[in-house]
Amino acid sequence: MQKKVLLGNEAIVRGALAAGVDFVSGYPGCPSAEIGEEFGRIAKENGIYAEWAVNEKVALESAIGASFSGLKSLVNMKSFGINVCSDSLFPLAYTGTKAPMVIFVGDDPSCHSSAQSEQDSRGYAYLSKIPVLDPSSPQECYDFTKLGFDISEKFNIPVIIRSTTRVAHQRAPVVFDIPIKKEFKKGEFVKNPHQFCTMPPRVMEMKTELLAKLKKIKYFAEKSKANQVIGKKNSKIGIISSGISYFYVMEALQELGLDLSVLKLGFFYPLPEKKVSDFIKGKKEILVVEELDPYLEKEIMRIAKDENSKLKIHGKDLLSEVGELNTEKVCIALSKLTGKKLAELKTKPLILPKRFPKLCDGCPYWYILPTIKKIAPVGTIFGGDIGCNMMAGLPPHNIQDYLFSMGASMGISHGVSRSTGKKVISIIGDGTFFHAGMPGLVNAVYNKSNPLIIVLDNRITAMTGHQQNPGMGKTLMGEDVEMVKIEEVAKACGVKHVKVLDPRNIKEFEDAIKDFLQKDEVSVIVCRLMCALLERRLKNNPDLRKFYGNPQN
């Protein structure tokens, strides 16, 4: 047993180690990347295999293969990752696992580090019928990861740990076990098409089996210590909360000097309905404190219909559905509900010139973005994608006309170019190209549109903190591997006009843009120059070459 201050995500790693994880796969994103990174450093010495997959769908599928071969697995991804992997997530609920599997999903309320949407991934519980646990603290990140593996082992079902930025990037003391060193476990695949194949009509039986399984898990959830009642037993007003919101509730109660009963739910799905109905019995009003979507609120309304039909249920009438919650917002809601006066706050955020995130000093994109802007004719449409190249949309560049999800620039640029007949310049990074850009490229070639695709190949997945990708010659665990060359992929996809260059050769780059803008077919320019931050890190700490090799080549 040890006590240490850990980041929520470090506690997830500790929990998985304590549970005896064998196989770790994921795709880096914010706020989840630290999990895979830590495994990259410690996997070998702990007898674990860890990888960055090319995207979250493949990451999940790799873990499914591991689970079917008898290895305990952990999958890690950010919120949007679960969208990408959902196609395989749903059948996984049907087949179930053979060896236990925990899937970590990091949501980012308030979109601190997320373009795209303010996603509440808890909703996937209903779509997939996979149990979801919702930790509040690094200690719970550790405890719930272990619990997740236990549930998965007991019921042969994957378990999702759904965290948020304020939990994943929260530091606090954690008490954890140091596991006994284990050897690499070799999996064994025992054929069992009855379990592993979702062919109809078997798939319908599987659904029935899944629903029966969920009943049992619900019974387990009712008795689990992950759900707790805190505070005064019989207050007329009760609070139901989970995740980080629970802490805001406790702070707000202190702040207002209130003593109310609080039901803290560690199980989001399946919901311990008996526990909830016991809690709401005899209460007059309930405040549901949850971030983003009113999932719990709706469930509690449904339960109250039978148990306590006079109960007044508050939630999104008093708390915003947009943005993170905080103690102040919960104080205001509680003050409205209880009539307790709040001290007036005089300080307000000042209106100041905004500091936009910007490209780092020496970033290769400083050569690329201004050159594109200079050469592109007035009125050029610019496609944008996820990663450091998102900065193309910020001053002083301002060359981004749409930004969606990983790899989406490929499809949208094709659609715009097909629809308007106009030349589109589409910008994408190397990591994103591998993640989901490739199918879009094939589609653009196949369906005969003509965007100019500029791949900003900085030799690393940079925005999330330098994670290895298929283009740079190293795996997560630091093994050497053949570099997948983007220009060769493009050629193999049927792109006839392909150019690779060092963007410092501005004249060459300018000429290539001018030339390719005239083409009636898809063209690809690969601008290859290592991320300046990575270059500095490697210079300051040559030991890092163990994990990064020599990505410039």
Partner 1 sequence: MVIRKTNTKNHMETFNLILTGVGGQGIITLVSILDEACLLQGYDIKSSELHGLSQRGGSVVIHVRFGKKVYSPMVSRGRADLIISTELLETLRDSHFADLKTIFLVNKHAVGFAGYLPESEILEALSKMAKNNLHIVNASEICKKELGKDVLAGVYLLGYASYKKIIPLKPEFILKAIEGIIPEKYRGINIKAFNLANDN
CB–CB of 266/224 below 8 Å? yes
Quick one: 4 or 305, whose CB is closer to partner 1?
4
Q: 505 Cβ partners below 8 Å, 6+ apart?
A: none
Query: Does the protein bind partner 1 through residue 255 (CB under 8 A)?
Result: yes
Which residue of 327, 335, 338, 443 would you call a contact of partner 1, by CB under 8 A?
327
What would the x/- binding string for partner 1 be over residues 75 to 114, using CB under 8 A? -------------------------------------xxx
Rounded CA-CA distance 370/506 in Å is: 10
Beta strands, E only, 47-168: 49-52, 73-78, 101-107, 132-133, 159-164
How many C-beta atoms lie closer than 10 Å to residue 162's C-beta?
26
Q: Which residues face 428 on adjacent strands? A: 455
State which residue, 110 or 380, has the beta carbon closest to partner 1.
110
The span from the CA of 214 to the CA of 55, in Å, is 29
- 257-296 footprint of partner 1 as x/- string (CB under 8 A): x-x-------------------------------------
251 lies in the site for partner 1, by CB under 8 A: yes
Q: CB-wise, 189 or 356, nearer to partner 1?
A: 356
Beta bridge partners of 500: 526
- Are 83 and 25 within 8 A, CB to CB? no
Alpha carbon 113 to its chain's center: 11
Q: How near is the Cβ of 409 to partner 1 at its closest, in Å? A: 18
Answer yes or no: are the C-beta atoms of 56 and 27 closer than 8 Å: yes
Q: Which is nearer to partner 1, 186 or 354 (CB)?
A: 354
Cis peptide before 201 (omega within 30 of 0): yes
Q: Give the bridge partners for 225, in sequence order.
A: none
**CB-wise, 184 or 356, nearer to partner 1?**
356
- Min. distance of Cβ 8 from partner 1 in angstroms? 10
Site string for partner 1, 438-457 (x = CB under 8 A): --------------------
Q: From the CB of 246, what's the least distance to partner 1, in Å?
A: 8
First to last CA, the chain: 45
350 binds partner 1 (CB under 8 A): yes
Q: Minimum distance from CB of 330 to partner 1 (Å)?
A: 10
Size of residue set near partner 1 by CB under 8 A:
54
347 binds partner 1 (CB under 8 A): yes
The position carrying tokens 């995500």 is 9
Task: Kindly state the smallest distance separating residue 173's Cβ from partner 1, in Å.
Answer: 6
Is residue 345 close enough to count as binding partner 1 by CB under 8 A?
Answer: yes
State the binding string over 20-39 for partner 1 (x if CB under 8 A, else -). ----------xx-xx-----
Q: Write down the least CB distance from residue 144 to partner 1, Å.
A: 17
Instruction: Confirm or reject binding of residue 328 to partner 1 (CB under 8 A).
Output: yes
* Parallel/antiparallel/unpaired status of strands 261-264 and 228-230: antiparallel
Encoded tokens for 64: 């499914």
Interface with partner 1 in residues 230-249 (CB under 8 A): 244, 247-248
* Window 460 to 479, contacts with partner 1 (CB under 8 A): 463-465
Compute the distance between CA of residue 298 and CA of residue 286 in angstroms, rounded to an integer: 12
What are the CA-CA distances from residue 58 to residues 76, 77, 134, 193, 408 (Å)?
Answer: 12, 11, 24, 21, 18
* H-run or E-run covering 25: strand 23-26
Rule CB under 8 A: is residue 126 a binding residue for partner 1?
no
What pairs with residue 164 in β-bridges? 107
Report the nearest approach of partner 1 to the CB of residue 511 (Å): 30
- Check: CB of residue 86 under 8 Å from CB of residue 130: no
By CB under 8 A, residue 320 contacts partner 1: no
Rounded Cα gap, residues 418 and 352, in angstroms: 42
Instruction: Retrieve residue 550's tokens.
Output: 């020599």
Bridge partners of 262, per DSSP, are 230, 239
**Residues 372-411 as x/- pattern, contact with partner 1 by CB under 8 A:** ----------------x-xx---xx---------------
Q: Does 323 help bind partner 1 (rule: CB under 8 A)?
A: no
> Which one among 358, 374, 504, 545 touches partner 1, defined by CB under 8 A?
358
Residue 305 beta carbon to partner 1: minimum distance, rounded to whole angstroms = 33
**Cα 330 to Cα 326: distance, rounded to the nearest angstrom:** 6
Cβ 239 to partner 1, closest distance in Å?
Answer: 13
Contact footprint for partner 1 (CB under 8 A): 3-5, 30-31, 33-34, 112-114, 137, 165-166, 169-173, 244, 247-248, 250-251, 254-255, 257, 259, 326-328, 343, 345-350, 352-353, 355-360, 388, 390-391, 395-396, 463-465, 541
